[in-house]
Amino acid sequence: METLQIIPSRTVGPGLRETGVSSSFSGVGQVGFASLLLRNRKVQSFCIRARSYTEDRNGEDLISRNSNSTQNEEREELLLLGTERDSSGSVVGFQLIPHSALSHEKILETREVVANAMDELAEDIETSDEASTRTTYNVVFVTAEAAPYSKTGGLGDVCGSLPIAMAARGHRVMVVSPRYLNGSASDKVYANAVELEQRSQIYCFGGVQEVGFFHEFRAGVDWIFVDHLSYQRPGTPYGDTFGAFGDNQFRFTLLCHAACEAPLVLPLGGFNYGEKCLFLANDWHAGLVPVLLAAKYRPCGVYKDARSIIAIHNIAHQGVEPAATYKNFGVPGGWYKALEWVFPPWARTHALDPGEAVNVLKAAIVTSDRIVTVSQGYSWEITTPEGGYGLHELLSSRSTVLTGITNGIDCNEWNPSRDEHIPSQYSVHDLSGKLECKIALQKELGLPVRSDCPLIGFIGRLDYQKGIDILLSAVPDLMHDDVQLVMLGSGEKQYEDWMRHLECIYKDKFRGWVGFNVPVSHRITAGCDILIMPSRFEPCGLNQLYAMRYGTIPVVHHTGGLRDTVQNFDPYANEGIGDGTGWTFSPLTKENLLAALRTAVWTYKEHKSSWEGLMKRGMERDSSWDVAATQYEQVFEWAFIDPPYAG
């Protein structure tokens, strides 16, 4: 009997049905192998061979026939290999059909489909070969914040979305952060996290602490929440109305020790991550991780093959404490030099102050295998005296392992065509919903509902970094113009009070929303025409990226990641069509801020087509994590090429 055979020439992935290894068909039957072969990426190579087939007079038909038949009878008994497709048109199987049942056109089509299926298969084999040559890593993010579980700013956004992007690229990814419980409704974010049986003992602060671990597997990522009483109190992850918590050094020391234990002891999905990990420590809160790898684990032969990267989101916060607290870290003796920090004479409190301290971020910069910061511009700025906050010389000395990678954004959460927080969805192809968002926002804020009046927004922490003082001092001048301004933020009390005060004076034009409210931040991003960001320094900045995606034009200080991501508007470029996605100004003064805002407002009012061009270019800009994720992979590869830091 003649057969159609499918012979795997190499390995077959575990999910593949083996029915096709040598299939014989003597009648009409569904084979269904094509979809399996095409979909399973673990299949490396297949060949499909018709051991015997007869071609018709044009040589166009793939035929199976009954070997017992005579030549004349064969024509009647010929069976054609027909295809079966799903609703999308993809081939999901084949059927042997009597020749007489099909027209000649159908036969030609069948042949074409078989040929296409073979092409697709070849393509798939190529892709699977590529995939199999790409290195994947066990990545352990260590962070004080990860949205949606915890977020006070951009760190939470990045550590909530970059891990998912890395997992989608085939890496095994764990995120370790504290399980903050503050007694409010927000505690329910941990509802799906299950307590693991494993508990770990941690030696630090002159005693033994026991921590538990909660686990949720979501979006391909193992989210690990470290459980300890010190994470359970009212307030934000870092403080409350009285200021920063006094025991933050203790709380984040615990986090770092627990994060180092997690890959060794937690059986996630049945297997622990093991020692060959890539630790991605974020900001000073996680800065003790590379120190512990070098000082506590490697000398005992553990984590010899691991590597660590410190990611700097904001160098202004370094985790500096008195030198006497060194013994609290649980770092073996002999490593004081790594953490040692001596304030310059001008920064000391009095003439007899030796200025001695410990600095966690500094220690991380010294002991990590690589250093990443969140934009290229900022990676240079932190090597300068103005931008390095005292660490510029150290960073310059390590510039060969320092890389700037511009943040991406979570394009699912920040997507105007699917955003559930905004009253009307819209897209670059139909902007009408944006005007509805503006009107709804004006109503919500109690401002006069005026579609023609430019609505300017600000979102961010109210502190020195964000240039909030410059913006607030410009408000009285700005209020002479026909504009509306809404500010959303929380932070230093003096700025919160200043916002409330301005709202009382400019009732018809100004709103100051004091607080931290994610849905409101989405509505402001969608409803405003312009977003103002006068940051003194901005390592990357996310709000300008969100704004551009929502067709809201950013006006920003020309610094750090703002300079890297906002392209200044040039109305004469592209043969008068215009180019750019916003306005940048420098140096940072009230006058420059006002001038840039007034240029934007004038363009909004007088040059509608230019404005629309600005909106569309911003909305079409690729801010996804894809580019950044590739760059992170490159840094991972470099980290593993060099030997680990050994002290």
Ligand X SMILES: Nc1ncnc2c1ncn2[C@@H]1O[C@H](COP(=O)(O)OP(=O)(O)O[C@H]2O[C@H](CO)[C@@H](O)[C@H](O)[C@H]2O)[C@@H](O)[C@H]1O
Kindly state the smallest distance separating residue 245's Cβ from ligand X, in Å: 18
Pick the piece of the chain touching ligand X (CB under 6 A) from 96-104, 202-210, 302-310, 455-463.
Answer: 455-463
Residues numbered 556 to 615 that lie near ligand X (CB under 6 A) are: 561
Task: Return the HEC string of 75-126.
Answer: HHHCEEEEEEECCCCCEEEEEEEEHHHCCHHHHHHHHHHHHHHHHHHHHHHH
The residue among 638, 138, 142, 137 whose CA lies nearest residue 401 is 638
Kindly state the smallest distance separating residue 258's Cβ from ligand X, in Å: 23
The number of CA neighbours under 13 Å toward the Cβ of 393 is 1
Pick the piece of the chain touching ligand X (CB under 6 A) from 111-119, 153-161, 180-188, 254-262.
Answer: 153-161
The residue within the footprint of ligand X, chosen from 245, 336, 464, 516 (CB under 6 A), is: 516
Binding status of residue 251 toward ligand X by CB under 6 A: no
Pick the piece of the chain touching ligand X (CB under 6 A) from 155-163, 184-192, 357-365, 615-623.
Answer: 155-163
CA dist., res. 42 & res. 128, Å (int): 7
Binding status of residue 541 toward ligand X by CB under 6 A: yes
Kindly state the smallest distance separating residue 532's Cβ from ligand X, in Å: 13
Please count the residues of the chain: 647
Look-up of token digits 């109503």: 443
- Report H helices in 485-587: 493-505, 518-527, 543-549, 560-565
Contacting residues for 212 by C-beta, under 8 A, at least 6 apart: 195, 196, 199, 226, 227, 228
Strands 356-359 and 320-322: antiparallel
Binding status of residue 154 toward ligand X by CB under 6 A: yes
266 or 531: CB nearest ligand X: 531
Site string for ligand X, 366-405 (x = CB under 6 A): --------x-------------------------------
Residues numbered 69 to 128 that lie near ligand X (CB under 6 A) are: none
Look-up of token digits 């990357």: 540
367 or 490: CB nearest ligand X: 490
The residue among 434, 474, 482 whose CA lies nearest residue 458 is 474
Binding status of residue 324 toward ligand X by CB under 6 A: no
Kindly state the smallest distance separating residue 152's Cβ from ligand X, in Å: 7
CB 95 within 8 A of CB 82: yes
Contacting residues for 266 by C-beta, under 8 A, at least 6 apart: 196, 198, 213, 215, 224, 272, 273
How many residues in the shown chain lie near ligand X by CB under 6 A? 26
Q: Is 98 left (phi over 0), alpha (psi -120 to 50) or beta?
A: beta
Binding status of residue 216 toward ligand X by CB under 6 A: no
Binding status of residue 538 toward ligand X by CB under 6 A: yes
Residue at shortest CB range from ligand X? 153
Q: At 91, list the tokens.
A: 């081939």
Binding status of residue 314 toward ligand X by CB under 6 A: yes
The residue within the footprint of ligand X, chosen from 517, 599, 624, 631 (CB under 6 A), is: 517
CA dist., res. 341 & res. 358, Å (int): 5
Pick the piece of the chain touching ligand X (CB under 6 A) from 333-341, 476-484, 532-540, 592-600.
Answer: 532-540
Kindly state the smallest distance separating residue 502's Cβ from ligand X, in Å: 16
The residue among 2, 83, 3, 79 whose CA lies nearest residue 38 is 83
433 or 541: CB nearest ligand X: 541
68 or 241: CB nearest ligand X: 241
CA dist., res. 438 & res. 555, Å (int): 18
Pick the piece of the chain touching ligand X (CB under 6 A) from 41-49, 52-60, 422-430, 513-521.
Answer: 513-521
**Which residues here bind ligand X, judged by CB under 6 A?**
153-155, 157-158, 313-314, 374, 407, 459-461, 488-490, 516-518, 521, 538-543, 561
